[in-house]
Structure 1
């Protein structure tokens, strides 16, 4: 079974556990709408890939870690789309949860997904108690304060925010959780995999900043131009489009270089480059260099983490 199919099956099994004659039907519908059909599922796939690279010996625990991370990501999107933040009409080409089910159910849906994430970890972790505490700590660090995705969203409420701090929290933190949790689920040291998550998380956000400028809402599957509209920190604004593209390429190379020596290192490198092409196709990079030369930065792009 390929990793995407494995992720989809694990998510479907987890959502099925919420179905009950005693459950509010509209809440169950909202939960499923928030999770399916889903996007690229890169975070849970990354978790699975790292676990396999570390000699996965507890697939049910790996699945639970991957599911928990994806459910937390989906919860953050539900809340992010609400009128108090982006007030977005679409997500992944579909109506957002609050547009389809109303604001009260959207709020409860996001809350329900957060609880469901930890339920998944608790169920699988009962059979691997020696690994559970570390997994929970990793997932909580990637989700809450001071540096998780909740903090990343909260930086949008501040009058000023450092671009690097904002990106590390809003996007990077859950990528770090993905790589580290994959290692922990396999009983391996997560520290060797942290740098890969950091590089990929920052690269993903830089690509999102570029796409927010370059693409229309139909192509994005969500409203375009949100960074400028909401005055958010943006790599495209700080570095210009050409500078942001060069920075993205550098981050993806650093991600490849950060993959530790392991039997599946070649496969991991392929996964990273495949994701790089999906996020920012070479044809798009070439077009930006060709059509937006005035957006080239005056200085060489800074190394990872130096944007402040």
Structure 2
């Protein structure tokens, strides 16, 4: 985490200039710090280390780019056109603090800064410049059309959407970019790490659907009940909380099994298991299981018209 925070701080400092609008710089910093779990850059660097970490500056730049793109998507997702959220990570959203026009520009600026981070990493690792085109393609695939996070948000504007396709785009694509970019930055074949990103990405979204139903805003650090409010696809709505929990556990088991053989396999598997317990703590899992065996009430939030 210290490596990630330092790399993010360095990249944001590169955007500072006396000629830049001060409120834009402040809004960008507000969107990035303090961060959440930083699971995407953690995955990127963990895979890079598992593959030998032969180009640390390039791995750092890939991790930073992915996190900045994630932060940009949150800024846009929180705006009135989408969730109209008041809080994110326990603090006011960018548009609440700085206004809608600056929030839109902040998300745009973070997207550009992400690609500047990749360029900087390539300059720091000239002997590995041949890895840059592949990294760019991975990051673009995880972010844009047809199957990245932009497409995931766009599916919310369609009259019908398949839950799995929605989850793969909105959440899974950037997880795949994280694991594959970590491998490629270290000079390894990213194909062997794709399944880990796919399983974790879908599991993360399923967990988010469950938490959206069970937890309150002060626990989530953002508004709760958003899936029902905005009539979004949700594993909890489609499968029920018990079914969603079963699906989450199956995905995490598949994620553990998908870690490629190698000296770092056990450490990577431990990281996956730790993340599973963080996303759905044992107490929450037990609560869902008790309710499934002895139903006493319907554990869901009503849709808001």
Q: Same fold (TM over 0.5)?
A: yes
How far does residue 129 in structure 1 lie from its aligned partner after superposition? Answer: 1.7
Indicate which of 48, 70, 73 corresponds to 1:73: 70
- What is residue 251 of structure 2 aligned with on the other side? 251
- What is residue 168 of structure 2 aligned with on the other side? 168
Q: Does 1:110 align with 2:107?
A: yes
- What is residue 9 of structure 1 aligned with on the other side? 6
- What is residue 95 of structure 1 aligned with on the other side? 92
Distance (whole Å) between structure 2 residues aligned to residue 262 and residue 39 of structure 1:
30
RMSD: 0.9
- What is residue 129 of structure 1 aligned with on the other side? 129
**What is the CA deviation profile of residues 191-239 of structure 1, one whole-angstrom value per residue up to 9, with x for unaligned ones?**
0000000000000000000000000111111000000111111000010
Distance (whole Å) between structure 1 residues aligned to residue 129 and residue 52 of structure 2:
19
Distance (whole Å) between structure 1 residues aligned to residue 18 and residue 145 of structure 2:
36
Residues 171, 201 of structure 1: 8 Å contact kept: yes
Residues 7, 67 of structure 1: 8 Å contact kept: yes
- What is residue 30 of structure 1 aligned with on the other side? 27
Question: TM-score normalised to the size of structure 2?
Answer: 0.95
Distance (whole Å) between structure 1 residues aligned to residue 223 and residue 117 of structure 2:
32
Distance (whole Å) between structure 2 residues aligned to residue 293 and residue 193 of structure 1:
37
- What is residue 272 of structure 2 aligned with on the other side? 272
Any stretches of 5+ residues in structure 2 without a counterpart?
296-305
Any stretches of 5+ residues in structure 1 without a counterpart?
296-308
How far does residue 292 in structure 1 lie from its aligned partner after superposition? Answer: 4.0
Residues 67, 120 of structure 1: 8 Å contact kept: yes
Residues 242, 293 of structure 1: 8 Å contact kept: no
- What is residue 233 of structure 2 aligned with on the other side? 233
**What is the CA deviation profile of residues 74-93 of structure 1, one whole-angstrom value per residue up to 9, with x for unaligned ones?**
00000000000000000000
How far does residue 293 in structure 1 lie from its aligned partner after superposition? Answer: 4.1
How far does residue 291 in structure 1 lie from its aligned partner after superposition? Answer: 2.0
Indicate which of 36, 41, 53 corresponds to 1:39: 36
Distance (whole Å) between structure 1 residues aligned to residue 27 and residue 292 of structure 2:
42
67 and 154 in structure 1: CA distance in 2 versus 1, 3 angstrom threshold:
same
- What is residue 152 of structure 1 aligned with on the other side? 152
- What is residue 288 of structure 1 aligned with on the other side? 288
How far does residue 282 in structure 1 lie from its aligned partner after superposition? Answer: 1.3
**What is the CA deviation profile of residues 108-135 of structure 1, one whole-angstrom value per residue up to 9, with x for unaligned ones?**
0000000000001011113232000000
**What is the CA deviation profile of residues 144-186 of structure 1, one whole-angstrom value per residue up to 9, with x for unaligned ones?**
0000000000000001110000000000000000000000000
Q: Across the two proteins, how many residue pairs are aligned to each other?
A: 292
Q: Does 1:84 align with 2:91?
A: no
Distance (whole Å) between structure 1 residues aligned to residue 111 and residue 270 of structure 2:
31
Q: Does 1:55 align with 2:48?
A: no
* SS of corresponding position for 2:146: coil
- What is residue 301 of structure 1 aligned with on the other side? none
Distance (whole Å) between structure 2 residues aligned to residue 229 and residue 89 of structure 1:
14
Distance (whole Å) between structure 2 residues aligned to residue 19 and residue 142 of structure 1:
27
Alignment of 1:208-227 (within 5 A): 208-227=208-227
Choose 279-288 or 26-35, whichever is displaced more. Answer: 279-288
